[in-house]
């Protein structure tokens, strides 16, 4: 097991201890989740996961990878007292405290998508739609602009412009400002990394 997985597994155990001390099922509506068999059923990029005091399982009852477990557990644990206003679209680096983390986020999301889909915009668009993404049009000019529902209260916007002459492909990933009310920065990074990986997997 690599060091990163060990870190996530330890974080998951810590989150589960906290979950045991709260009535997390009562927050189902605030989280946009359903309650079933003493679990919260939460959609992550269109795939349902079951969160309970026993851990995080996939729809077919298998354990999720540690990073996904921590992401969903923190989503439940960080539930605010009320649904916040969505706020404007912002990049990762615009969240308070992002600092040096923003460079790591860019390397693991934006740049991977740029490299994987340069001169392949049709493939990117097809993959995004296959994942349940919805074309997004706010009047801006992008070759691909797709909105995803990463989690019920966490929309994510992907904007991509392809290679153009001497200009390389450019990708930006944006969140609603309210995302910081539900997730910490490390978890938001996982949201972006999952998006990049799923786009490549489905292409």
Q: Is residue 133 part of a domain?
A: yes
Does residue 84 form part of some domain? no
Predicted confidence (pLDDT) at residue 1 exceeds the cutoff of 80: no
Per the structure, the complete domain to which residue 7 belongs is given by: 3-77
Looking at residues 95-123, what average pLDDT do you find? 96
Residue 21, number of CB atoms within 10 A of its CB: 8
Domain boundary among 77, 111, 137: 77
- Per-residue pLDDT tens digits for 155-201: 999 999 999 989 999 999 999 999 999 999 999 999 999 999 999 99
| CA 27 to each of CA 33, 94, 132, 138, 143: distance values in angstroms, whole numbers, following the listed order | 8, 28, 25, 32, 39
pLDDT attached to residue 140: 86
Confidence category of residue 81, pLDDT binned at 50, 70, 90: very high
Per residue, the 3-state secondary structure of the chain, as one string, reads: CCHHHHHHHHHHHHHHHHHCCCCHHHHHHHHCCEEECCEEEEEECCEEEEEECCEEEECCCCECCHHHHHHHHHHHHCCCCCCCCCCCEEEHHHCCCCCCHHHHHHHHCHHHHHHHHCCCHHHHHHHHHHCCCEECCCCCCCCEEEEEEEECCEEEEEEEECCECCECCEEEEEEEHHHHHCCCHHHHHHHHHHHHHHHHHCC
In the prediction, which pLDDT does 191 show? 98
- Average pLDDT score over residue span 11-32: 96
Q: Is residue 101 part of a domain?
A: yes
Q: Same domain for 156 and 116?
A: yes
When pLDDT is averaged across residues 101-114 and rounded to a whole number, the result is: 96
Residues β-bridged to residue 52: 55
Q: Domain for residue 70, yes or no? A: yes
Mean of all residue pLDDT scores within the chain: 95
Residues 105 and 64 in one domain: no
Give the count of domains, the chain.
2
Identify the domain boundary among 44, 77, 110.
77
């Amino acid at each position: 097991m690599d060091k990163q997985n060990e870190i996530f597994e330890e974080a998951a155990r810590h989150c589960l201890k906290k979950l045991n001390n709260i009535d997390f099922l009562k927050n189902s509506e605030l989280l946009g989740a359903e309650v079933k068999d003493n679990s919260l059923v939460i959609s992550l990029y269109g795939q349902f996961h079951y969160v309970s005091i026993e851990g995080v399982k996939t729809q077919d009852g298998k354990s999720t990878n540690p990073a996904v477990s921590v992401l969903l557990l923190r989503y439940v644990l960080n539930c605010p007292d009320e649904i916040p206003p969505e706020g404007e679209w912002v990049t990762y680096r615009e969240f308070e405290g992002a600092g040096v983390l923003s460079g790591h986020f860019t390397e693991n999301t934006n740049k991977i998508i740029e490299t994987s889909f340069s001169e392949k915009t049709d493939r990117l668009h097809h993959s995004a739609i296959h994942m349940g993404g919805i074309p997004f049009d706010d009047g801006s000019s992008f070759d691909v602009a797709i909105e995803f529902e990463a989690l019920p209260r966490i929309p994510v916007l992907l904007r991509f412009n392809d290679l153009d002459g001497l200009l390389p492909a450019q990708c930006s990933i944006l969140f609603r400002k309210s995302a910081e009310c539900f997730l910490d920065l490390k978890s938001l990074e996982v949201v972006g990394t999952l998006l990049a990986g799923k786009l490549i997997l489905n292409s």
